[in-house]
Structure 1
Amino acid sequence: MIDEKILKGSAIVIREILLPVEGEDGVFSAPTFAGEKGAPLYFPEFKGETGRIKNAVLVDSVESQANRLEVIFKEGEYKNLVPQIYIKVGNLSINLLEMGHRITDAMVRYSTLYPLVWGQNGALEALRDGNCLEIAKIAPTSLIFGFWDSRETGIKWPRLLRSEIWAYNVLQLGRVGQYTPAVFHKFKPEQEWKVYTELLDLEEMKKLQEEMKEEKFKELLSSVGLGSVPWPKEGRLQNVFRLIPDEGIIQRIASLHLVGLRLHIGVKEGGKMDEDGTSILQQYLLGLGLVALTYPQNYDLRQGCLLRRKSVEQKLVFPDGCEENLSLTHNNALNFAKKAAEKFKEKFDVDFSPKEFEFKPEDKKLKEEYEKRKKKKGEAKEEE
């Protein structure tokens, strides 16, 4: 059950032990990020010679988990818990819940929603004065998952919900492969560069073959998808891992920060704190946070990384260090959130039905923004 005791805690913490669907000896792929010159980079692991943790690798980042959880509020019964705001770009209509920078995303800044967010008496101005209500009327999940308006006001709003997945004590595996076009199967490997010129009467290809060295001609065929492609040497140690037997573990740790909910979420009216309104808004955001926290993810994270739950632990943590076990179900959370959402809508006369705004970037505004960023970069270089 969800009672007053929960609101007095510091955080609700969930630990899920996960496994590859194949079991403890299954392999899984970690995420890759853009490295130097566009080369893929998996998250660097750290290594220790002694101790319980020998190494660690990131399996799903805080940002990735936030994006996966926020979009659940677009679908099914979850969409009735939050406003449905869309930005229309040509023939596309994009839900605000899909935007990585949330309420301060560039798609919002250059849309007709701008005045409600950045304008005089807009949502961000109200937030600076301690009133969260205006943002909650537009994008309540932005208050749950956090945002940073780096372009204009500089306002940073911390995440109330944090979730990430790490693997500890893992073996990094090598991987190699080779692509060979089916037409090459009837030719010896050393003759493959002659295949197309012998099978087809292509004068231009024959000219290229005569003019280029064998290796260059092979590169040309590979570049257009007509040649064999071996796995590059530098890519043989990949972002593929397996758990060290009896030591390895994949763990999702998620926490809903109740202290932040109590301290930062407030409603003001006429410059004074509205205690009743604040309580209703806090209950509403608590409901959304609990729904996201307990949502049963399918953990199909990427190609080669399909995980399953092994065990789940829930705790309510208090400021003095005390802990209590919880048995909060997703259905409990959803029912609580539905009731809290109805109270929120009734109290503040909020309509969750879909609303569409136009994406209208002005050339002048874009140019001004570009010049402003260019100037900042120049000042930063001078300081160096």
Structure 2
Amino acid sequence: MTTTPSHEDIAHWIAKDGPVALHIREMLEPVEGPGMPIFPATYANIGYNIDTLSDGTKIASIDSVGSQANRIEPLFKDAPLASLVPQIDITYGNDKTLSILEAGHRLGDAVIRCTELASEAHQAFIALLDRGDATLIARLAPTSLVFGAWDSRDTQAKLPRIVQSVIRAWDVEPLTRSAQYTPALDYSALEVFSEAEREKQEGKAGSQLAERGYVHVPSTGQHGGVIARGVIRRDVTVNLVALRRLQGEESELLQRYVLGLALVAATAPQDGFLRAGCQLVPAGPLTVQRVARDGTRTDIALDHATALSYAQKAASAFGVGASRTVAFDKTRAKDDARPAQKKA
């Protein structure tokens, strides 16, 4: 029998004798039903990322760790999660706005160095490097602690992911698809170009007339998705060891605050529309296990409502950093983008 943890139970997870991780598992299926094709992400030079095990089983990466983080983090822009973190918006161009929650590298992103936040971000990373103190980061951009960040262009400070989510499909069979582009009119008959020119360029995807949509062009043997004969599964890990390593003037309040953010991120319902041809829906309830240091696994009934309730209490105790709007500074950007030898 699984039980719902109380706030006190959850708070104990940051203790030295607490569990090392939470593992959340969610079975998924195509919106069209089991056995229907889905389209994984494609990558340069390799297409689909499909690994083959020694027994011949093929496993496809449907959504990577980085992609999942970039899908989950913007949930903190909207109520009720918005009140849990400072809302930092960056204005640029003609009244356009970018939330820090949408910046791919979070507090370590180049866009931060192009604003008045640059100095604060630098000092926050230095505090982490020099004293192991994550308080300033938690006040400024706490989701950088949850989803990880690397200040690779400045201090080199690294924050490991506390929440890691990935979607894989097991025992997959890749498919191919073909298509035929047919122009709306016979442009050679209309003397836009000659019949000889049509014959020369038709069917050649790279030709000028094909590029402009004036001749027939076939497209064959293209990626057609995969069929999963096994499960499609989302696995989420909440790394409680990494969380315990976060220190500050009030380490316990800090750790409880970040734990709350991690739990709501890990349990938040996802929009299953990952890309064209890949819309997934749950094929069953979430299962959550608490993993002890000795490997013992205990089923717990942790739902999003419980996680949110705990996170709100922890955020109130810690104190959420101030929200603000800052402007993109082109001068800062130009200076930052110059080669290092020219800055001297």
- TM normalised by structure 1 equals 0.80
- One-letter amino acid of the counterpart of residue 44, structure 1: I
Q: Structure 1 residue aligned with 2:215, among 227, 230, 235? A: 227
Instruction: Quote the residue 2:125 is aligned against.
Output: 124
Contact 1:42–1:239 (Cα < 8 Å) also in 2 = no
Q: Distance in 2 between matches of 1:267 and 1:310?
A: 41
Q: Distance in 1 between matches of 2:53 and 2:218?
A: 31
Contact 1:113–1:357 (Cα < 8 Å) also in 2 = no
Cα offset for 1:103? 0.1
1:257-300: CA deviation from partner (whole Å, max 9, x where unpaired): 111111x21113xxxxxxxx111111111100000000011211
Q: Distance in 1 between matches of 2:307 and 2:98?
A: 27
- One-letter amino acid of the counterpart of residue 20, structure 2: S
Cα offset for 1:5? 4.2
Contact 1:80–1:352 (Cα < 8 Å) also in 2 = no
Residue 93 of structure 1 aligns to a residue whose secondary structure is strand
Any unmatched runs of 5+ in structure 2? none
- One-letter amino acid of the counterpart of residue 114, structure 1: A
Determine which structure has the larger helix proportion and give its number.
1
Instruction: Quote the residue 2:260 is aligned against.
Output: 287
Q: Distance in 2 between matches of 1:16 and 1:217?
A: 48
Q: How does 1:98-137 map to 2 (within 5 A)?
A: 98-118=102-122, 122-128=123-129, 129-137=131-139
Residue 22 of structure 1 aligns to a residue whose secondary structure is coil
Instruction: Quote the residue 1:309 is aligned against.
Output: 282
Instruction: Quote the residue 2:97 is aligned against.
Output: 93
Q: Structure 2 residue aligned with 1:77, among 80, 96, 104? A: 80
Contact 2:41–2:61 (Cα < 8 Å) also in 1 = yes
Cα offset for 1:43? 1.1
Cα offset for 1:68? 0.5
Cα offset for 1:226? 2.2
Matched, 1:265 2:266: no
Q: How does 1:22-61 map to 2 (within 5 A)?
A: 22-35=32-45, 41-49=47-55, 54-61=57-64
Contact 1:48–1:55 (Cα < 8 Å) also in 2 = no
Cα offset for 1:211? 7.2
Residue 182 of structure 1 aligns to a residue whose secondary structure is coil
Contact 1:108–1:359 (Cα < 8 Å) also in 2 = no
Contact 1:175–1:238 (Cα < 8 Å) also in 2 = yes
Q: Distance in 2 between matches of 1:126 and 1:238?
A: 47
1:302-358: CA deviation from partner (whole Å, max 9, x where unpaired): 10011111122110001011111010110111111111111111xxxx544333243
- One-letter amino acid of the counterpart of residue 366, structure 1: A
- One-letter amino acid of the counterpart of residue 140, structure 1: P
Instruction: Quote the residue 2:317 is aligned against.
Output: 343
Any unmatched runs of 5+ in structure 1? 184-194, 269-276, 373-384
Change (3 A) 1:141 1:160: same
Residue 161 of structure 2 aligns to a residue whose secondary structure is coil
Change (3 A) 1:139 1:179: same
**CA RMSD between the two structures:** 2.1
Instruction: Quote the residue 1:9 is aligned against.
Output: 19
Contact 1:172–1:237 (Cα < 8 Å) also in 2 = no
Q: Distance in 2 between matches of 1:242 and 1:279?
A: 47
Instruction: Quote the residue 1:366 is aligned against.
Output: 337
Instruction: Quote the residue 1:378 is aligned against.
Output: none
Cα offset for 1:131? 0.9
Residue 283 of structure 2 aligns to a residue whose secondary structure is strand
Q: Distance in 2 between matches of 1:173 and 1:127?
A: 48
Change (3 A) 1:151 1:99: same
Cα offset for 1:369? 4.1
Contact 1:6–1:316 (Cα < 8 Å) also in 2 = no
Q: Distance in 2 between matches of 1:367 and 1:355?
A: 26
Percent of matched pairs sharing the same residue: 37
1:218-273: CA deviation from partner (whole Å, max 9, x where unpaired): 633321122222114xxx151511122xxx111111010111111x21113xxxxx
Instruction: Quote the residue 1:379 is aligned against.
Output: none
Cα offset for 1:215? 1.9
Instruction: Quote the residue 1:238 is aligned against.
Output: 223
Cα offset for 1:47? 4.3
Contact 1:58–1:165 (Cα < 8 Å) also in 2 = yes
Change (3 A) 1:260 1:49: closer
- One-letter amino acid of the counterpart of residue 355, structure 1: T
Q: Distance in 2 between matches of 1:369 and 1:112?
A: 20
- One-letter amino acid of the counterpart of residue 307, structure 1: L
- TM normalised by structure 2 equals 0.89
Matched, 1:144 2:115: no
Change (3 A) 1:220 1:351: closer
Contact 2:201–2:215 (Cα < 8 Å) also in 1 = no
1:189-236: CA deviation from partner (whole Å, max 9, x where unpaired): xxxxxx22433xx5xx34xx277472236633321122222114xxx1
Contact 2:85–2:321 (Cα < 8 Å) also in 1 = no
Residue 50 of structure 2 aligns to a residue whose secondary structure is coil
